[in-house]
Amino acid sequence: MTENTLINHMKTYLALSEEESSEILTFFDYQSYKKKETLLFAGKQCGRLFFVTKGCLQLYFINDLGNNKTIQFAIENWWLTDFIAFQNQKLSNFNIAAVENSKVLSISFSNFQELLSKFPKLEKYFRLIYETAYGAALMRLKYSYSLSKEEIFFRFREDFPDFVQRVPQYLLASFLGLTPEYLSEIKRK
């Protein structure tokens, strides 16, 4: 039961009874996506928040030159959406697609509000998730200002060794702001 991935993740932050766990899951939809399948389209209503139970998603946009620019990856136990658009129920600034075959729980905006009002203790869970994500985004900005492209890759590989193995190299290059050619040159070293 990959749905249990979410409950187990929540339980690392707070206590949940069997009954609560079952009820929490009723707020979510569960879906499998094929590699390269799109879950959220830029320019369309951003109605859902996604939680990866298996696989990998990417948040990206297409720039003026038609290139795919990856802003964020999400692997198991990560949440992903266009958070600003989701919070304000606006059109998404990003696409989300499956990087590999993935299993995903998702929740609509209205269900998310209802879930939190029914289980206020989940506010703490999401507060901690977002606190970490925001802090990590600030660190990422620091790296982008202070490290060379090569150092960014080595630090990334140190922090997320499995990730570097799993993600297609052209996506990893896009995420790190490298050309695929330059990335394979660094890796050869």
Least distance from C-beta 45 to a copy of itself, angstroms?
A: 16
| Interface stretch with a copy of itself, choices 31-39, 124-132, 154-162, 180-188 (CB under 8 A) | 124-132
Applying CB under 8 A, does 12 fall inside the site for a copy of itself?
no
For a copy of itself, the binding residue among 82, 92, 95, 115 (CB under 8 A) is: 82
**Radius of gyration of the chain measured on its C-alpha atoms:** 17
How far is residue 68's CA from residue 179's CA, in Å, rounded to a whole number?
12
Residue with tokens 């697609």: 97
C-beta neighbour count of 131 within 10 angstroms: 10
Applying CB under 8 A, does 83 fall inside the site for a copy of itself?
yes
For a copy of itself, the binding residue among 63, 66, 158, 161 (CB under 8 A) is: 63
- Contact assessment for residue 126 and residue 120, using Cβ atoms and an 8 Å cutoff: no
Site size with a copy of itself, rule: CB under 8 A = 40
| Interface stretch with a copy of itself, choices 2-10, 23-31, 76-84, 152-160 (CB under 8 A) | 76-84
Q: Which residues bind a copy of itself (CB under 8 A)?
A: 59, 61, 63-64, 69, 71-72, 82-87, 93-94, 116, 120-121, 123-124, 126-128, 130-142, 144-146, 177
